Amino acid sequence: MADLSVDLNGFKLKSPILSASGTFGYCDEFEDFINVSKLGSVVTKALSINPKKGNEGNRIFETNGGMINRIGLENIGIKEFINKKLPILKEKNIDFIVNLAGSNFEDYIEASKIANKNGIKAIEVNVSCPNVKEGCLEFGTNPKTLYELTSSIKDVYKGFLIIKLTPNVSDIESLAIAAQSAGADCISAINTLKGLGVKIEITEDKKIIKQTVSGGLSGRCIKPVALSMVKRIKEAIKIPVIGIGGISNRDDVLEFLSVGADAVEIGTENFTNPNITEKITNELIELIDKLNLKNLDELKRKLRE
């Protein structure tokens, strides 16, 4: 059987197909649908130092080819994750990456220290969170702030450090370069795009009802933006890149690999198609065999010729 393994500069994955943060819970929700152990890795929902309830009101808005969410980083907190979820993942031998979020520097550092102390092999740092202390600017929009955050995390966390970039910037290259210079081991991109969903309904009695949801756009409709950003990042840096955004089938994965992604994460598609990660994994194996190639690396080379 074709070898799908990926070596991200020393961090080894059995497959390039990962689940994206926030769309796969802490993995236990998906076990009835797929064989999770086949995945390269499960990326957990973002974890903050303290549990978060998330936003009140309408959190989801369906769009053409995607969705807008304003979940507000609802999560159980890293300590409960360590106590309740980590033992399950370990017992079932599931490879996972912990996604971390914070609203100030100290939160990120504290969470990274806890991850380090508990032997978490890899963290993906979500820098799309607003920095409350610095006036709600996202950590990931300023190269200097991102450099400082990444190097401070690197000082306390000794595992594999992935910085997940936001697409809501004009110069993604300078952010990727800042993270790399500060010691990041890998970049993942993209997080959601800022979007506004508006729904107008005109009732029988001629009233106009307006519903709006402002949040992060994800799903099939963002793929061209994600492909462009992954290509630009890959051309700007040397560390591995994990491509994310709008992947819904095998050919989407091939497109990301062809522009330089070393692995991919699949997000929104899990909601309509909960076994999509396993399906694509099987289809990749079939394709490599059909093309008489030995492994994923050979396929990547062909796609990039």
Q: Which residues are catalytic?
A: 129
Using the contact rule CB under 6 A, the part of the chain among 48-56, 153-161, 243-251, 254-262 near ligand FMN is 243-251
Binding ligand FMN (rule: CB under 6 A), the pick from 71, 94, 236, 303 is 71
Report the distance separating Cα 115 and Cα 151, nearest Å.
Answer: 16
Residue that is written with structure tokens 């200097």 in the block = 144
Residues 171-200 that bind ligand FMN (CB under 6 A): 191-192
58-95 b/e with 16+ CB inside 10 Å = b?
eeebebeebbbbbbebebbebeebbeebbeebeeeebb
Binding ligand FMN (rule: CB under 6 A), the pick from 112, 218, 277, 281 is 218
Chain centre to alpha carbon of residue 225 = 15
- Site for ligand FMN (CB under 6 A): how many residues? 25
Which residue's beta carbon is nearest to the bound ligand FMN? 22
Using the contact rule CB under 6 A, the part of the chain among 142-150, 172-180, 229-237, 261-269 near ligand FMN is 261-269
In the complex with ligand FMN, the residue whose CB is nearer, 197 or 245, is 245
Does residue number 149 form part of the binding site for ligand FMN (CB under 6 A)?
A: no
Does residue number 268 form part of the binding site for ligand FMN (CB under 6 A)?
A: yes
Does residue number 166 form part of the binding site for ligand FMN (CB under 6 A)?
A: no
Report the distance separating Cα 20 and Cα 242, nearest Å.
Answer: 10
Integer CA distances (angstroms), 182 to 146, 189, 229, in order: 9, 17, 20
Does residue number 49 form part of the binding site for ligand FMN (CB under 6 A)?
A: no
Q: Is 205 helix (H, G, I), strand (E, B) or coil?
A: coil
Q: Is 156 helix (H, G, I), strand (E, B) or coil?
A: helix
Q: Which residues are at the interface with ligand FMN (CB under 6 A)?
A: 20-23, 45-46, 69, 71, 73, 99, 126, 164, 191-192, 218-219, 222, 244-247, 266-269
